[in-house]
Amino acid sequence: MIKRNIYKSVLGAIVASSMILASVPVMADTEVQKYTNTDFAMDTVVSETLYTTGDDLNASIGEKLREVETGLLSWTESDSQIAKINSADGKTVEVSDELAGYLRQICQLAEDSDGAFDPTLGQVIRLWDIEGENPHVPDQKELDALIENVNYKNIVLDGNKVTLKDGATLDLGAAGKGIGCDVTASYLKEQKDVTGMILNLGGSSVMAYGEKPDQSPWKVAVTDPRDTEGDYLGAITIKGGEFLSTSGDYEKFFMEDGKRYHHILDPKTGYPVWNGLTSVTVVCDNGLLADGLSTACFVLGLENAQALLEKYDADAAFVDEDKNVYLTSGMKERFELMKNTYTIKKIK
């Protein structure tokens, strides 16, 4: 039997966000106003709490996020820059400075993770259709044919010029919400009235900006991968200017013959990654990288991910099927365990 969990995770995102909102205390400074909003953009629930002496920015932030989706990243909007690159049939396409910058970060991360993070999985992701109407285990021959085209080295970047070689297709889904967080952070920097904000995209990518009026830390709930509608597994503290991202096997999946087919794929096999991990949460000072690193670390597994996290000066929490939580040294200071069914363990 095929079972999907997309709606559950959207609901989880709303609950996660309301939990964050509920924990915001009353402001001390009467000049600063607090605005809380829920929106829908980038295919997900957007929750925000804004502190400002000026106007509510909910509408313009929603617009910025929708622009990221429709103008840059979408597969389905034929005018998006990614759709244009994918339909160019190997010809060179000139992209915006913004997208060229993101692609440079993404290709570097693909190389640094030794291809665990690979933005050319596009066709393979479509074949599984985990997010679509007909999620299914693909025919092995079809999968083998498409996996041939997966290789981040087939992305040729020359300034603003992008060429995809050998049938590669781009899908930036593993970094898209993080890009949305970066775009929002840059926008907020131009808004002199804003004193602080927390933005949560779908419960999986979070941006913290500035401070709360009482200067208490921003806290983000961590979902229990095996109890997505229940209590949270823990909470992580982040500062203004930091970004958090979670990749988990519970976010999009279907079950068949007792096996969980989820949305994080091993670029070498084209199959979901089954390495005992159920989620990885990463905190660092860049949204795209937090998002990309959480996906990369999920694929690499606990031990192999450590060097990558050190290189990017990022903190991480790994959760496994045996209900262990492994924290990097920087994460130990941020993480608060909220469920006694989980145990914090040392990374060897």
CB of 301 to ligand AMP, least distance (A): 12
| Cβ nearer to ligand AMP, comparing 126 with 226 | 126
Contact positions with Mg ion (CB under 5 A) in 272-291: 291
Parallel/antiparallel/unpaired status of strands 234-238 and 218-222: antiparallel
Tokens (6 digits) for 89: 């049939």
173 binds, among ligand AMP, Mg ion, none (CB under 5 to 8 A by kind): ligand AMP
CB of 290 to ligand AMP, least distance (A): 9
Query: With contacts defined by CB under 5 A, how many residues of the chain interact with Mg ion?
Result: 4
| Cβ nearer to ligand AMP, comparing 52 with 245 | 245
Decide: 266 and 43 in contact? Cβ < 8 Å: no
Nearest Cα residue to 322 out of 302, 295, 342: 342
CB of 348 to Mg ion, least distance (A): 25
Edge-to-edge order in the sheet of strand 234-238: 218-222, 234-238, 335-337
* Residue 101 backbone dihedrals phi, psi, to 5 degrees: -65, -45
Residues 109-137 as b or e (16 or more Cβ within 10 Å = b): bbebbebbbbbbbbbbbbbbebeeeebeb
DSSP letters for 59-107? HHHHHHHHHIIIIII-SS-TTSHHHHHHTSTT--EE--HHHHHHHHHHH
Contact positions with Mg ion (CB under 5 A) in 154-213: 174
Binding site for ligand AMP (CB under 6 A): 117-119, 121, 125, 171, 173-174, 204, 247, 251-252, 263-265, 267, 291, 294-295, 299
CB of 190 to ligand AMP, least distance (A): 27
| Cβ nearer to Mg ion, comparing 189 with 311 | 311
CB of 328 to Mg ion, least distance (A): 17
| Cβ nearer to ligand AMP, comparing 8 with 34 | 8
Nearest Cα residue to 23 out of 58, 56, 47, 57: 47
Decide: 342 and 324 in contact? Cβ < 8 Å: yes
CB of 173 to Mg ion, least distance (A): 8
| Cβ nearer to ligand AMP, comparing 173 with 225 | 173
Question: Which residues sit at the interface with Mg ion, rule CB under 5 A?
Answer: 174, 291, 294-295
